[in-house]
Structure 1
Amino acid sequence: MKYTFSKAALTITISLLTIAFASHPKIGSTDDSKSTTLTTVEFVEVLNDNQKEARYYYENNWLQLRIQAKSKNYIKEYNLLETDYSEDGPFHFILITTFADQSQFEAREKNFGELIEAKGALKLLNDTQPKDFRKTVFVKNEAKQLIH
């Protein structure tokens, strides 16, 4: 029997599975009175066959900012995933940033703004600008980890 899924259903399913696996959960209490991690997941499509430009951009900008953010305790963890584009999964990259709690999440703009300012100009493979080689397909903020 062949099953078909809508793009929205597949994207949501992939989002939830990605969050579950990326968070490295431990079995334990789901008591809401304890700190709850919050995760942002972004699905990105590469435009105009600019795979090299997009990969370079994410490895040299997005990833480097997450490494710095984690070392400063601005985030709990991060993950940069690359996947094959398909009709049911119209994206090439999945960007995951997990915050330890609500206060880290709420400070994200200020904290990343500080890191971006210190970092300086974007590192690009060539003159192709990000708007010309990437498009955000879907973003989900504040996904909560159910198992701690």
Structure 2
Amino acid sequence: MWGVSFSAETESDAEIAARVRVEVRFRAVTEVADGAPVIEVANRYGVSRQTVTAWRKRYAASGLGGLSDRSRRPRTSPNQISPQVEATICEMRRTHRRWGARRIVYELGRLDPYAPAPARATVHRVLVRNGLVNPQEQLHKR
């Protein structure tokens, strides 16, 4: 994904590491279930008591599968630009080829003065994402 390639050996190492993490979490949960204080178990495994409590809840809800690593991806992106605004930005650029991000932000503000216009950088990212920007080489004098 980021230019990193995994060999079959590396993937198996990652799978082994994930399995070991699940086993460690399971041991911590069973120790607490057997009567050990949560804070002592947390100190022994080098995590907070809240983490051990979260592991217990996840194990109670989902069993052993609940102790596996979970995605860290956000569930929502509340500040994401709406598809309607993105379509408007693209349409403005297609009809007015010379308009850049700054001008499009200005025109969006004129279209609906009560709606917050997206930032110039956001408009530029939309234009790049939709292939509506032709990158030009910068000439820097030395």
Q: TM (normalized to structure 2)? A: 0.24
Q: Which has the higher strand share?
A: 1
Q: Which has the higher helix share?
A: 2
Q: Which structure would you say has the larger RCO, counting Cα contacts within 8 Å and 6 or more residues apart?
A: 1
Q: TM (normalized to structure 1)? A: 0.24
Larger Rg: 2
